Structure 1
Amino acid sequence: MSSAAQRQVKASPEADLHPAQPAANDGEKQFLVRGTPPYRRASLAFFMSGFSTFALLYCVQPLMPIFSADFGVSPAASSLSLSLSTGLLAVAIFLAAAVSERFGRRSLMFVSLLGASLCTIACAVVPDWNALLVIRALEGFLLGGVPAVAMAYLSEEIDPRGLGASMGLYIAGNAFGGMAGRVFTGMLAEYFSWRLALAGIGLMGIVAAIGFLVLLPPSRNFIPRKSTVRYHVDAWFGHLKNPALALLFAIGFLMMGAFVTIYNYAGFRLVAAPYNLNQTELGLIFTVYLFGIAASWAAGLLGDRFGHFLVMPVGALVALVGIAITLFSPLSLIIFGIVLLTSGFFMAHSVASALVGKLAHGTKGHASSLYLLGYYLGSSVAGSLGGHFWSADGWWAVAAFTGVMLLLSLLASLQARRITMRG
């Protein structure tokens, strides 16, 4: 056989994955390279999955007062429509990481998105409050199949030189979905009904799930593994023994904890005198997520060019400055401070997500699941603990609590950089 024929036989059916450039230091792996059509399709697919996941997850938040009135439950009980979903999502992340190691990334993410969308539509028609909570818990469990597996797919399939930009676009989709799920659902519920609002979000999720499946290239570097419980436990503990990764997991906990705490209790401050914002005006604050979308995308590009460990502490510092600015009284400065907090948070989160994939040696889904476990535990634990600081001494106490967490994030990011450079 001639050399030309040999080259033809060996050619990949998707040669534009990495044309005319070998995958240095990666054996026979074929990456999706920035600038190629498969890379663009994958990035768009993950933007859609991030948007859908967080729109489906947070769409009930503005509806809690309506749930309280319609179903005759207390405000605390109405919050279960969200807390049950996020709690089950954190648990499911571990299981999803294990399942995806055997059955693959792409199909699991599609089933998760489609199932969660159908659950949201079911919530729109269910007549009983307890049934709604059961469905929301199931929805959170299903959504756990997306975040950890998405990070694993990206870190396995995307060329490391373009990983930050792709991960940043995925995080941007998260931010956009989180904003849209809150803002649009609240507006639809005000002008039509909460049931129509949930049905609309559910149908959007189905469209996004189908688009995700059509756009995303099949995995090329994933090798299914038959595994035992011991295998998964060893994989998780193996990542925890990596000090740089352990610090990234802590950064996820601290950054998300500070971010959620500020958003949880800013509302209590702004509905009171002298601001007296109504619910519509308060809900519009979530549009500052647009700055998070831009920040996560920019951080990914800057991280790819200048180094992720240089960008991550900048994000923590920007968020810390934002919290300090919220201590001033003018409403414009409070909003500006929240903009900086949001931008800094998404910068750090985007870069930390990419670094987890880069630093994890094998079983990347397990590493991603540990990062996201810390991330959602930060939301749950710190977000609730911040209420005690609010009750004790108002906004000053909340700012001090979150400021300490962000300062610790900054120090952890610098330490992780030193460890990695020594290694």
Structure 2
Amino acid sequence: MPYLERGQQGFGRALAALFAGGFVTFAILYSTQPLLPVLSADFHVSPAVASLSVSLTTAILAIFMLLTSAWSEDRGRKSIMVASVLASSVLAILTALAPSFLSLLVLRAVVGATLAGLPAIAMAYVNEEFHPATLGIVMGMYVSGTSVGGMSGRILVGAMSDLWSWRGALAGLGIISLAASILFWRGLPVSRHFTPKPGALRRLAPSLAAKLRDPGLLTLYGLGFVLMGGFVTLYNYLGYELMGPPYHLSQTWVGLIFLVYLSGTFSSTWMGRLADKHGRVKILWVGLGLSIAGALLTLAQPLGVKIAATALFTSGFFGSHAIASAWVGKRAKTEKAEASSLYLLFYYAGSSLAGVTGGFLWTRFGWPGVIGLIVGLLGVGLLLAGGLQHLERRTIAAAQGPQGSAGGQPVGAHHGR
């Protein structure tokens, strides 16, 4: 069966479906983040306890991705992804009816488990069903959906909570997500290149161990760790910086800063296309360089410069993530879903560990300390990208093999000229 590619019927609908799936996942995942102060007041819990409505969901998501990716190797891709987004949307609506904070946490934990059915499997699906020449733009479109969803999970919910209440906001987002889930279901083509591998769950542990022994995949996992670690650290503490002197912005205006996520919507697709044309490593370096430049420019005091710098940083992050995540599926020859789920496990681990470390640096050194951590992480990312280039050259050289000839002709020279 032919791969899905540009110009083929259904290619545009498939791109729209992947965008919708990414939107649903990240809109629901971060939907309670802008509501934390309201949840603290409504349920009489501390900010730390209220934050469990986000951190518990992401932790459960990371763990369950390993299981659902293995399950998809046995049961198929599309059916699990569709069930994931539909169930998560319904649960998001039910969360609005939670009578207590404990019941809200339970629902959010279940949401983390159901959301796990899409992210890692989507990467494997894209690599199996789309022509290799289009992988950058296709994965870029999916990542664009995640950036819009992540932005909506913070801004849209905040706006709706001002109009109605936090319950109305969560219900409204759940309804929007349900509509997007139906678009995903109807627009995504059925798998044509998937081959079931029964017993994948039993083979999960050995499979994960094998992926961790692959130097290329391990390097990509490290890249996911530093990318998300730097990204979450910046957004975790940007609000503190902007609400303090000399800016004294309100919570509403700080929330609107998330509109710069739109820069990631465009950069992920654009840089994915450039990677298809000019090579992944070269464009990956560009993305990391943009993020480093953006992070450093946020040290400038003028508010306009700081916001523009945040947009530049965000563009570089989403573009780099689109390239790295697509590369994982291409590098993994077998059990692509498990390979992708490991990438996302490292990705969220970077979010947790770097985010906490950034808090200590903020307390001691302020915003320069936070930026120092971010630039350090992204500097490691540049080294990892260099390692990927070295591995690619070795792979190409090994595939070509010795091609010398008698008489001292150089490798690759043609005979009989």
TM-score by length of 2: 0.93
Secondary structure of the residue aligned to 2:365 is helix
For 1:302 and 1:212, how far apart are their aligned partners in 2? 26
Work out whether residues 71 and 200 of structure 2, in 8 Å CA contact, stay in contact via their aligned partners in 1: no
- For 2:306 and 2:162, the matched residues in 1 are separated by 26
- Name the stretch that deviates more: 113-122 or 285-294: 113-122
Q: Does 1:330 align with 2:311?
A: no
Residue 18 of structure 2 is aligned with which of 39, 46, 70?
46
The alpha-carbon deviation at position 30 of structure 1 amounts to: 2.4
Match of 2:47 in 1: 75
Which of residues 120, 125, 134 is equivalent to 2:97? 125
1:311 to 260, 283, 294: 283
Q: Percent identity?
A: 45
In structure 1, the residue matched to 2:235 is 263
State the alpha-carbon separation in 1 of the partners of residues 11 and 275 from structure 2. Answer: 18
Residue type of the partner of 2:128?
A: E
Distance in 2 (CA, whole Å) between partners of 1:331 and 1:207 is 37
CA deviation after TM superposition for structure 1 residue 333, in Å: 1.6
> Secondary structure in 1 aligned to 2:96?
helix
Alignment of 1:345-356 (within 5 A): 345-356=317-328
**1:116-163 Cα shifts (integer Å, max 9, x gaps):** 111111111111110000000110111011100000000111100001
- Equivalent-residue separation in structure 1 for 2:247 and 2:101 (angstroms): 34
Report the AA paired with residue 37 of structure 1.
Q
Please state how far the C-alpha of 1:35 moved relative to its aligned partner: 2.2
Kindly provide the CA deviation profile for residues 283-316 of structure 1, in whole angstroms up to 9, marking residues without a partner as x: 0000000000010010111111111121111111
* Residue in 1 that maps onto 2:65: 93
State the aligned residue count: 395
- The one-letter code sitting in structure 2 at the alignment partner of 1:286 is F
Partner of 1:190: helix, strand, or coil? Answer: helix
Where does residue 241 of structure 1 map in the other structure?
213
1:341-361 CA-to-partner distances (Å, cap 9, x unmatched) read 100000100000111111111
> For residues 185 and 354 of structure 1, what CA distance do their matches in structure 2 show?
30
Residue identity matched to 1:223: T
Per-residue Cα deviation, 1:177-231 (whole angstroms, up to 9, x for no partner): 1111110100110121111111111111111111111111100110111115552
Whether 2:139 is the aligned partner of 1:146: answer no
Q: Which residue of 1 aligns with 2:402?
A: none
Distance 1:231 1:300, change over 3 A: same
Output the amino acid matched with 1:264: N
Confirm or deny that 1:115 pairs with 2:87.
yes
SS in 2 for 1:291: helix
Asked whether 1:403 is paired with 2:375, we answer yes
- Of 253-262 and 112-121, deviating more is 112-121
Question: Which digits, 9 at most, give the CA deviation of each residue in 1:316-359, with x for residues without a partner?
Answer: 11100111101111111211221111000001000001111111
Measured after TM superposition, the shift of residue 234 of structure 1 is 2.2
Secondary structure, in 3 states, of the residue corresponding to 1:275?
A: coil
The residue that corresponds to 2:195 in the other structure is 223
- Equivalent residue of 2:10, what SS? helix
Cα RMSD (Å) = 1.0
State the TM-score, normalizing by the size of structure 1: 0.92
CA distance in 2, matches of 1:251, 1:215: 32
- Select which of 84, 90, 104 maps to 2:76: 104
**Cα pair 1:39 1:158 within 8 Å, conserved:** no
State the match for 1:365 in structure 2: 337
Amino acid at match of 2:390: R
- Secondary structure of residue in 2 paired with 1:125: coil
Please show how residues 189-228 of structure 1 align to structure 2 within 5 Å.
189-227=161-199
2:74–2:200 contact (8 Å) kept in structure 1: no
- List structure 1 segments (4+ residues) > 4 angstroms apart after TM superposition: none
